[in-house]
Structure 1
């Protein structure tokens, strides 16, 4: 099912912003879980279980992008598509992203796999008979790929999908300072600066960061923000140190489970340098590098009758993994193919 946008939807910026502006989704009946982390902080998970959920119902854990949440249209769209296909799903909000401020002075970052691993392992213990899949979008995709590379053959998922992952964070931070990409940087940084500003109400952030509250407004690009806050609060030596250690591209050869990477060449958040080639990945990774699609876009159909190809592709991939697993359980062996 190859992605092909219509002429009116080919523009990468239309692909990137269309769903946020125009996608209409029905209200989902969500169950909210407050999950306590080992350091005493918490995250919120939003569950969307199928009507007849059982202990063997396959579960998909979703990880949103930078400044994303359940309110992000790509999250609700995916959960709805998964539900129709018989998958229960749960969105793991990163710290402070659900609308409730987290308790610690630190928040989340692109390479922070610890919180996710705690939550995933808890879900596995609750549903030991269920197949478990993961989807990451943008920052969440980078985190997911890094987690899979770190855990190798002990990965907690049966299969995973990574969409529009910024696999070289320094390259992406540079790209976001250029041309129209600055528009996206400004939107994202506005949310990040507001969240940091609120931290000053509960923590002595000036002592922790050496940054006066009134100077937050000077953090006008990702390099400045990550040097002042992300790197410092998470004990990285610098923004470059944070970017180098947290970028997922270096982990791709270590991934041992079936993983689909979906990426558009015209993604306005990054350059061609970010995109992996076959030699950069393990033999369990399928690369779908598409000419068009923007950043977490991949909308086909027309401007007035859009079709959200991404949701269908994810469901198709997970269904194929379930079928393959069933065949292997029946002692019918099929080689994993690219």
Structure 2
């Protein structure tokens, strides 16, 4: 399949349907079984990493999946990647960003879209523990963090991974954040994220009363308002605008040296098409796939009720050429 021409089934009109159908209705295959490891971080916190347990040779490649906002190894795209990695005989590792594995992390900080230092530490730790080569995939928030890491590391990224892919990443966080706060997006998707983000942040306030303006957080109805109160200041940014500007991967894409695939559907409700990078905004190491359909991490295809394996198959096939 030429994935740049990907088209959803005729009965999935528009980016909203393609996004929601893939997450809630499409076939995902057998439920994966994981082996979990808890890693202590250098700053006294922890993350949980889930490893696939399907048969694979010791020296087979390991695909590292960086999940999206409030995602986990239970996300539909993680389950689909599990099936595809099993078919290819690859190992799969899903490191959970802090607080996303089902247990609150210890520190007041959580995770954010530009956390390239955390990505670097995770990849270096994995490189020491696996027998084969590493490739990496980041989805949505995890995709921006991975792409930003590639831009920050430049040539040094080649020492850790053979190739990387960012799927449906909001590479321009300002454009994506503003888009999510408007119109139907504000009512469809923002409440879904806020249902878990706000209680987690309030738990941090209980750890450290006065950490932020609690009443402002409770009144927050958009991701900009949430990031302005909590994510930005707690993670070293002035406010939401400073966070979104400095954490975006797009300004660093000309510095990328490792083979990097950027896959973005042009009808993604989270990421306006006008914000997507153009060929003159990226380095020669970056390949752009911008199909007309797919929604946000959708890409469901096949007979009713469709499946979500097309994207993982295409992305892993692209990564395989670098191994």
Normalised to the residue count of structure 1, the TM-score between the two structures is 0.90
- 1:138 and 2:143 correspond: no
Unaligned runs of 5+ in 1: 323-338
Deviation per CA, 1:279-331, whole angstroms, max 9, x where unpaired? 01110111001111100111122442435310111221122222xxxxxxxxx
- 1:221 and 2:222 correspond: yes
Matches within 5 A, 1:224-263: 224-263=225-264
Give the Cα separation in 2 of the matches to 1:106 and 1:176. Answer: 24
Give the Cα separation in 1 of the matches to 2:31 and 2:295. Answer: 26
The residue number in structure 1 matching 2:151 is 149
- 1:103 and 2:106 correspond: yes
Give the Cα separation in 2 of the matches to 1:286 and 1:124. Answer: 25
- Deviation, 1:52, is 3.8
Give the Cα separation in 2 of the matches to 1:305 and 1:268. Answer: 20
Query: Does the Cα contact within 8 Å between 1:49 and 1:87 map onto a contact in 2?
Result: no
- Deviation, 1:232, is 1.0
- Deviation, 1:88, is 0.2
- Deviation, 1:216, is 2.8
The residue number in structure 2 matching 1:42 is 46
Query: Does the Cα contact within 8 Å between 2:300 and 2:306 map onto a contact in 1?
Result: no
Give the Cα separation in 1 of the matches to 2:238 and 2:306. Answer: 49
- 1:298 and 2:299 correspond: yes
Give the Cα separation in 1 of the matches to 2:238 and 2:311. Answer: 37
Task: Return the match for 1:181 from 165, 181, 185.
Answer: 185
Deviation per CA, 1:145-192, whole angstroms, max 9, x where unpaired? 000001111102110111001011111111112111111111112211
- Deviation, 1:242, is 0.7
- Deviation, 1:215, is 4.3
- What is the alpha-carbon root mean square deviation over aligned residues? 1.5
Query: Does the Cα contact within 8 Å between 2:165 and 2:263 map onto a contact in 1?
Result: yes
Query: Does the Cα contact within 8 Å between 1:63 and 1:92 map onto a contact in 2?
Result: yes
Give the Cα separation in 1 of the matches to 2:174 and 2:319. Answer: 31
Task: Return the match for 1:5 from 3, 8, 25.
Answer: 8
Structure (1 or 2) with the larger CA radius of gyration: 1
- Deviation, 1:141, is 0.2
Give the Cα separation in 1 of the matches to 2:217 and 2:194. Answer: 11
Give the Cα separation in 1 of the matches to 2:285 and 2:55. Answer: 33
Q: 1:307 to 1:218 in 2, by over 3 A?
A: closer
Give the Cα separation in 2 of the matches to 1:11 and 1:273. Answer: 17
The residue number in structure 2 matching 1:28 is 32
Unaligned runs of 5+ in 2: none
- Deviation, 1:24, is 4.0
The residue number in structure 1 matching 2:278 is 277
Task: Return the match for 1:194 from 196, 199, 214.
Answer: 199
Give the Cα separation in 1 of the matches to 2:296 and 2:47. Answer: 26
The 10-residue stretch of structure 1 (301-310 or 287-296) with the greater mean CA deviation from structure 2 = 301-310
For residue 33 of structure 1, give the secondary structure of its aligned residue in structure 2.
Answer: strand
Matches within 5 A, 1:118-137: 118-127=121-130, 130-137=132-139
Q: Relative contact order, CA 8 A, sep 6+: which one is greater?
A: 2
Normalised to the residue count of structure 2, the TM-score between the two structures is 0.94
